[in-house]
Structure 1
Amino acid sequence: MRFGLVLAEALSGLRRNASMVVSVVLVTFVSLTFVGAAMLMQMQISKMRDYWVDRAQVAVFMCRADSSTASCADGAATAEQLDAVRVRLDSDALVDVVRGVRFESADEAYQKVLDLYGDDYADFITPEQLGETYWVNLVDPSKTDVIAEAFGGMDGVEEVKDQMQYLEPLFTALTIATYIAVGIAGLMLVAAVLLIATTIRLSAYARRRELGIMRLVGASNRFIQTPFILEGVFAAFIGSLLAGGAIVLGVHFGVQRYLRERVDFVTSWVDLSDVAVVIPLIVGVGLLLAALSAGFAIRRWLRI
């Protein structure tokens, strides 16, 4: 097979169907941009989850004077009850679960509130309203239930709270947003596949006389099909490159230059190294879908 001749036929087909080719490029561009954005969003969620899971703590809140739980019937936690909790945290039974413990007194918690919200809150909050807390880091963050079982209902302990409970709704919302992006991308990819197939069939119809002559002179189906497949692949490749460029610009300017400077609680963002993983994947998806849809369309046409 003469590659130069096949390539010339493919380029000729692209020129003849310029408007349809532009449509294929745009649909491929939009759909693959959504695919890449969804992949990067899932990477970002994984980075955030790994960061916070490693740092999230389990809080063992000790009883305050105004606590109403059954374990706080005697009022604020006594020194003996504080010591009992500490001894259990340091016990052999929890040595493989507890990685570290930090005790926060009521005065320290009070000062943190003032540092965070300002001295104006000094008239509304007292140290006694905050109480003492043991902040526990775990070897395996998934074993928070062990701490809950060990200290839940213990005298002097008001509540055991896992900080990850506050972050899970955020991760859930971001995951749902990722699924929505994937769904939109999937619909756009279907549209791109159908548009490529339609473009190839129209191109074949426009050249039906040439195809008939090629068949009469003994040209193989492979020789006839290859230029049409290349047309779809070329159009999809251009759309894939545009999608890759949009993703690079989005991460560089949108994430690194904008979000990183304005969102403080996220310390690990997707960067160009993650983009370098995503772009080959979306280019590969675009080329594969284009080749399959174009090949299927031209084979069906040749059987007519």
Structure 2
Amino acid sequence: MAIKTWNRHVRDSLTSMWRNRWMSLAAIGAVTVTLLLVGVFIAVILNVNKIASDFENDVEIKVLISTTMNESKALELTQKVKKLPNVAEVRYVSKDDELKKVVADFGEDLSLFDQENPLHNVLYVKASEPQKTAAVAGQIDALKGTDDVLYGKGQIEQLFDVVDTTRTIGIVFSIVLVLIAVFLISNTIKLTIAARQHEIEIMKLVGATNNYVRIPFMLEGMWLGLLGALLPVVAMSIGYVSVYHNLSPLVQNEVFSFVAPANLLALLIAVLVLMGIIIGVFGSAMSVRKYLTVK
């Protein structure tokens, strides 16, 4: 199609929007409200997923090395643990360093144990996948030289169940919300096109091809989707940055954190703009199709 024809289609689509501005505003409003809800929900789901992942990644196994083993033997045990399947990270901490940590956490009174340190040399182990923590802990427990292997048995399995359930619910709700968005926006666009049925019939009667009729409406749907996405993008950008900076200090000492605005907004803006444009174009194409056959 010639550039001149495309320019005419673009001009016609903008002119048509202005001529039918009240219907266009209604369609833009529907897109705006729906995409704003979608944006809020996506932000919540991404943060829930981030928090769940942080909790999973914080899971580690604490191995108390037998007090009968000297440091040389303890380091040999460390190498054995590193070679086990599904082990991603092993960190050795001597009993002296463990005592320093306890004193820092609970006060100088515990420094009395400097003379006779009752603690164990310790290994902190992380599995390659959080769900394999229990299996790795069982392998370590079978090695000689371990007094105890701690990983929150029973509780960790419950945590993983909660995380998996939360993710599943989030995915289901996301799909449902997107389908509702498609339904609401496309139906609003259908109403705007239905109100211009006679305009389409006249274009067909004077010899316009289906594509010639369809393309301006698809472009108009694109403009409606794009304009409807602008307010949600601005609102989410300002709102999320504000919420992030207000809530982040409250959890700075916790094992989890929220998704940084730069990371979330880049994805969110792309999703909202693409959703608005795709639904606008698709809704217009589907809506105008039924009026292309003049009886």
TM-score by length of 2: 0.70
Q: Deviations over 1:128-163 (max 9, x none)?
A: 9x842412456x745865564244364x63322348
Aligned equivalents of 1:98, 1:203: Cα separation in 2: 58
1:228 aligns with 2:231: no
Query: 1:192 maps to what in 2?
Result: 181
Aligned equivalents of 2:82, 2:29: Cα separation in 1: 67
Query: 2:262 maps to what in 1?
Result: 272
Aligned equivalents of 2:222, 2:88: Cα separation in 1: 56
After superposition, the CA RMSD in angstroms is 4.3
> Do the aligned residues in 2 keep the contact of 1:34 with 1:185 (CA within 8 Å)?
yes
Unmatched runs of 5 consecutive residues or more in structure 2: 111-115
1:132 to 114, 120, 126: 120
CA drift of 1:20 comes to 4.5
Alignment of 1:75-154 (within 5 A): 77-80=66-69, 84-90=73-79, 94=83, 101-105=91-95, 112-113=101-102, 115-117=104-106, 131-137=119-125, 141-142=128-129, 145=135, 148-152=138-142, 154=144
Aligned equivalents of 2:88, 2:38: Cα separation in 1: 47
Q: Deviations over 1:167-217 (max 9, x none)?
A: 776676456445434433332322232223322332233222222222211
1:259 aligns with 2:266: no
Query: 1:15 maps to what in 2?
Result: 22
Aligned equivalents of 1:178, 1:238: Cα separation in 2: 32
- Corresponding residue pairs, total: 278
Shift in alpha-carbon separation, 1:134–1:166, aligned structure 2, 3 A = farther
Amino acid across the alignment from 1:60: V
Query: 1:301 maps to what in 2?
Result: 291
Alignment of 1:242-257 (within 5 A): 242-255=231-244, 257=245
Aligned equivalents of 1:93, 1:209: Cα separation in 2: 75
TM-score by length of 1: 0.69
1:60 to 60, 63, 71: 63
Query: 2:113 maps to what in 1?
Result: none
1:286 to 276, 288, 294: 276
Amino acid across the alignment from 2:14: L
Aligned equivalents of 1:260, 1:108: Cα separation in 2: 31
Shift in alpha-carbon separation, 1:169–1:258, aligned structure 2, 3 A = farther
Helix, strand or coil for the counterpart of 1:301?
A: coil
Shift in alpha-carbon separation, 1:220–1:279, aligned structure 2, 3 A = same
Shift in alpha-carbon separation, 1:207–1:281, aligned structure 2, 3 A = closer
Aligned equivalents of 1:254, 1:276: Cα separation in 2: 17
1:159 aligns with 2:166: no
Helix, strand or coil for the counterpart of 2:260?
A: coil
1:213 aligns with 2:202: yes
Shift in alpha-carbon separation, 1:230–1:60, aligned structure 2, 3 A = same
Helix, strand or coil for the counterpart of 2:42?
A: helix
Shift in alpha-carbon separation, 1:281–1:208, aligned structure 2, 3 A = closer
Aligned equivalents of 1:227, 1:182: Cα separation in 2: 35
Aligned equivalents of 1:248, 1:206: Cα separation in 2: 35
Q: Select between 85-94 and 200-209 the one with higher mean Cα deviation.
A: 85-94
1:25 aligns with 2:32: yes
Aligned equivalents of 2:156, 2:230: Cα separation in 1: 36
Amino acid across the alignment from 1:234: W
CA drift of 1:299 comes to 0.7
Query: 1:5 maps to what in 2?
Result: 12
Shift in alpha-carbon separation, 1:18–1:281, aligned structure 2, 3 A = closer
Percentage identity across aligned positions? 21
CA drift of 1:231 comes to 3.7
Aligned equivalents of 1:133, 1:146: Cα separation in 2: 19
Unmatched runs of 5 consecutive residues or more in structure 1: 63-76, 123-127
